[in-house]
Amino acid sequence: MSLTESDTELALILPHRSGLPLVEYLPLVFLSGADELPLPEPEALGAVEGRSAIVYGPEEDDDGLLCHAQGWDMGDLVLEPTTPANGEIPSYNKALIFLFAKPNLLGFFADWKSFQKGAHHFRRPNLVLTRRARQKQRLRLDGDIIVRRRNGSTLLSKLYDFGPSGASFYTDAADFRSGEMLLAEFEISGCGSCETTATIVRVETLSHSHYGYLVGIYFHLTKAQLQKAEQLYLCKKAEAIRQLSAPERHRWAPPETV
């Protein structure tokens, strides 16, 4: 079985869990905000057959299980793993589930009920977070970013993600504020580099991280810079898709054909 377009899009939307507890990982996915759906009716969630979902258990090294929705059964959400279960069937107790009900991304905790006929059954969630997915998803990066501020200071920080319109980075500096303008310079390995002015649009305090803060920036790009950013994005996205299809990189990737 190969990854569907929806599978790939969902995997690119979600940032690396990086050992975070589930209660920290969920808000990280919805940093830009979300609508809340309390006690939603099943039909309001768009979990029709074939929708892509990723299920996370509480273990901090759990990279997620890729599933396809099979609709609802007596009020239970039915998710079928894309790869056959080998050995012991996991019982999730309470799982964190991300569902790509295109164009919306949904995230919620749900109680695991049973595993029947090759699929997991989860009870209807009590609260669902939802937002529209970006047209062009941010890509997770491992690299450095040089930040030059108006006060003359220069900081070397760690990139978190990147897209044609913006990026985010980790920092321990506590004095970043929304609305601050700065100069950002970073290199994407194997693709090229980018330098642009940017405005800080959010600053998130992190409680379970090696760093104290996650800073989101919006790029101010000239036409030439926008073309360059688009090229870097497409280059990195192609690499990310190749990695998604490598079984040795993701336990939910499709099996290799013989």
CB 193 within 8 A of CB 158: no
Length of the chain: 258
13 SS3 class:
helix
184 SS3 class:
strand
The yes-or-no verdict on residue 219 having pLDDT over 90 is yes
The whole-chain average pLDDT of the chain stands at: 82
Give me Rg for the CA atoms of the chain. Answer: 19
The yes-or-no verdict on residue 252 having pLDDT over 60 is no
Task: Report the pLDDT value the prediction gives residue 253, as an integer from 0 to 100.
Answer: 45
Residues 6+ apart with CB under 8 A from 257: none
Would you state the structure tokens that stand for residue 108, as one six-digit string? 């919620």
Q: Which amino acid is at 18?
A: S
pTM of structure: 0.64
Q: Which amino acid is at 100?
A: F
Instruction: State pLDDT tens for residues 190-205.
Output: 888 889 999 999 898 8
Q: Which amino acid is at 19?
A: G
Give the whole-number percent of the chain exceeding pLDDT 70: 84
Question: In which residue are the tokens 């100069």 written?
Answer: 183
Q: What's the Cα-to-Cα distance from 94 to each of 133, 137, 190, rounded to whole Å? A: 25, 28, 40
CB 212 within 8 A of CB 203: no
Residues 6+ apart with CB under 8 A from 229: 164, 165, 194, 196, 219, 221
Our CA angle for 210, 212, 213, nearest 5°, is: 120
Would you state the structure tokens that stand for residue 21, as one six-digit string? 């507890």
The DSSP secondary-structure symbol of 127 reads E
CA dist., res. 164 & res. 191, Å (int): 14
Considering only residues 217 and 239, tell me which one the structure prediction assigns the higher pLDDT: 217
Instruction: State pLDDT tens for residues 25-76.
Output: 888 788 667 889 998 888 888 888 888 999 999 888 887 888 999 999 988 9
CA dist., res. 109 & res. 103, Å (int): 20
Residue 120: Cβ-neighbour burial (10 angstroms; 0-12, 13-18, 19+):
buried
Give the model's confidence band at 92: pLDDT under 50 very low, under 70 low, under 90 confident, else very high. Answer: confident
Pairing of strands 94-101, 35-38: unpaired
Which domains, from first to last, does the chain contain? 5-132 (2.30.110.10), 139-244 (2.40.10.220)
Would you state the structure tokens that stand for residue 189, as one six-digit string? 């390995």
